[in-house]
Amino acid sequence: MGTTLMTGASRGLGREAAEHLLRHHPDRHLLVFNRRPGLAAELIERTGNPNVTEVVCDLASFADIRRAAAEVDRPLDGFLGNAGLQMATTRKLTADGHEMTFGVNVLAYHLLLTLLRPRFTNPARIVVVASDVHDRDLNTLGLIPPPRWDDPRELVKPAEGTGRAGRRAYATSKLGVIYLVHALRRRLPEGIDVYSYNPGLVPGTELARDAGRVGRAAFRAVGKALVALPFATTPAEAGRLLAETMTGPRPGDSGSYISRGEVIPSSSESYDERREEELWAAADELCGLPSAGTPPTGTPSPGVTSTPRRSA
């Protein structure tokens, strides 16, 4: 029986993906990392599939990530990193003193995947959820400012700012996810594939739950209007596509960017080996990991010479 470890399975498209996996692949085991206990029991009750266990883990704490990773006692042939957050400001901090959005959306995955790497079988598939808002040319109707990359040691510093700064930090963190995936690809052996995944516009995922009562109401109102647009996806459909990316045929070359089930090039800015390696080295330092050095270069990143990119 194969095992997939999943984060972000408690609500929204992640909950839909988890239930789809359990209903359509009853012979697989799902191990969920969740901030509060009880998710495994909920999933078992909802799907009737008992092949679910959980480890309590707060991704905003390096100590908790280390403890949770140490509790994983089975081989993994799948990893689905869906947990992520968008904060109302850039002032909130993780337990380790880093800006919350970058700390959870980028650093937590760097640390978790590094600690879990010995647990992955060969073959295995790793999928980390990114977003098309990483692309500064994407038209977000003014809701999400474009990313603004900087030295990662600066990006983890809290700053004064409005909700716009918090939303920009989210876009920047999703660009960081793609950089991490590209850097990890160069470090994984053949047979262990890693992908970044864009679910597209999915209204109703409670991504803005930190925005306060007025902000949440505004996002819900906008979401109701956006859900009718042709490029919007329901949580159920987005969850299905995400689950099938984990369990279906090999999507494409390791390191690829998958948008709503289709491999496409990500933004031109997201292919930058210098930034990727600088982020990797900084993340090692910030997470308290020993540096493993720089892998061989010269292999083009997937998507660089692909067909013209299409926004989701």
Domain of residue 236, residue span = 3-287
Provide the strand spans (E) within 167-256. 192-198
Of the pLDDT bands very low, low, confident and very high (cuts 50, 70, 90), residue 42 is very high
What does the pLDDT average to over 13-27? Answer: 97
- Cβ proximity of 135 and 149 under 8 Å: no
The CATH number of the domain holding residue 235 is 3.40.50.720
Percent of the chain whose pLDDT exceeds 90: 77
Asked if residue 293 is part of any domain, the answer here is no
Instruction: Say yes or no to pLDDT of 208 above 80.
Output: no
Which residues, in sequence order, are bridge partners of residue 194? 126
Residue 279: inside a domain, yes or no? yes
Cβ neighbours of residue 89 under 8 Å, at least 6 residues apart? 161, 162, 163, 165, 166
Residue 201's pLDDT is what?
Answer: 84
Q: What is the mean pLDDT of residues 199-208?
A: 70
Which tens digit of pLDDT belongs to each residue from 145-165?
A: 999 999 999 999 998 777 789
How large is the average pLDDT for residues 118-131?
Answer: 98
Tell which phi-psi region holds residue 234, choosing left (phi > 0), alpha (psi between -120 and 50) or beta. beta
Residue 312 has pLDDT above 50, yes or no: no
Average per-residue pLDDT in the chain? 89
Kindly give the interhelix angle for 163-185 and 108-116, rounded to the nearest 10 degrees: 30
Q: Is residue 234 part of a domain?
A: yes
Number of domains in the chain: 1
Establish if 137 belongs to a structural domain.
yes
In a domain, 111, yes or no: yes
pTM of the model: 0.89
Distance CA 143, CA 156 (A): 23
Band of residue 82 on the pLDDT scale cut at 50, 70, 90: very high
Q: Is the pLDDT of residue 307 over 90?
A: no
pLDDT tens digits for range 219-261: 455 455 455 554 578 899 999 999 999 999 999 999 999 999 9
Residue type, 60: A
306 within domain boundaries: no
Q: Which among 147, 187, 151 has a CA at the least distance from the CA of 167?
A: 147
Say if 311 falls within a structural domain. Answer: no
In a domain, residue 25? The reply is yes
